[in-house]
């Protein structure tokens, strides 16, 4: 499934180029070296990358790539529906190649973002929405991942520590 690709003398690892080009075509996005690389990176890296993550991951293999190109391409891919744009992180927009129905979980300690399968994310019905036209819905959960939950539980809370010293 993964293999080294050589496009215009730039080498990077990604899903089959055919898979990526198919995905772009499915959503009406004209393929280019940069678009194929960026879409492939998001499809391969299920960590819900930010613009910076994608840029830092691809720029060593594609030295002519600019952060502006990554930003504009990810915006285009989101606008066309090829990726989801996530606003779960207060500091950065993240991108997700999984466009099927699911929720997201963000760890408050380490900041990792995980897909969470759900049966239904619809909260509003057509009747309860009235004359509102809903074009997007995102369901987020926040808390502590498995690794951080144990670390947070092991830390003494400040109010208890303050009481012990008083």
CATH number at residue 78: 1.10.10.10
Clarify whether residues 93 and 135 are in a common domain.
Answer: no
Clarify whether residues 67 and 113 are in a common domain.
Answer: no
The answer, yes or no, to whether residue 86 has pLDDT greater than 90, is yes
Q: How far is the C-alpha of 98 from the C-alpha of 48, rounded, in Å?
A: 9
Clarify whether residues 5 and 65 are in a common domain.
Answer: yes
Residues forming beta bridges with residue 95, ordered by sequence position: 85
Q: How far is the C-alpha of 127 from the C-alpha of 105, rounded, in Å?
A: 29
pLDDT of residue 101: 83
Clarify whether residues 14 and 63 are in a common domain.
Answer: yes
Q: Which among 82, 99, 116 is the end of a domain?
A: 99
Clarify whether residues 92 and 160 are in a common domain.
Answer: no
Containing structural domain, residue 163: 104-166
Q: Which of 36-40, 45-49, 98-102 has the highest mean pLDDT?
A: 36-40
CA angle at 107 for the pair 72 and 153, rounded to the nearest 5°: 165
Clarify whether residues 3 and 82 are in a common domain.
Answer: yes
Q: How far is the C-alpha of 74 from the C-alpha of 50, rounded, in Å?
A: 9
The answer, yes or no, to whether residue 16 has pLDDT greater than 80, is yes
Q: How far is the C-alpha of 82 from the C-alpha of 69, rounded, in Å?
A: 17
Q: 């070296």: which residue's tokens?
A: 33
């Amino acid at each position: 499934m993964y293999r080294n690709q050589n496009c215009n003398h730039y080498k990077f690892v990604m899903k089959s180029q055919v898979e990526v080009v198919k995905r772009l075509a499915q959503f009406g996005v004209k393929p280019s070296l940069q678009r194929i690389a960026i879409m492939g990176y998001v499809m391969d890296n299920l960590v819900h990358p930010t613009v910076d993550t994608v840029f830092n991951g691809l720029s060593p293999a594609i030295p002519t790539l600019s952060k502006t190109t990554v930003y504009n391409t990810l915006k285009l891919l989101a606008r066309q529906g090829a990726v989801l744009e996530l606003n779960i992180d207060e500091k950065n927009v993240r991108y997700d190649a999984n466009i099927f129905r699911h929720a997201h979980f963000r760890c408050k300690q380490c900041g990792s973002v995980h897909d969470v399968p759900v049966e239904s994310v619809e909260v509003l019905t057509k009747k309860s929405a009235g004359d509102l036209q809903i074009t997007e819905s995102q369901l987020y959960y926040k808390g502590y991942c498995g690794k951080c939950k144990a670390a947070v539980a092991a830390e003494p809370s400040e109010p208890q520590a303050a009481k012990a010293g008083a």
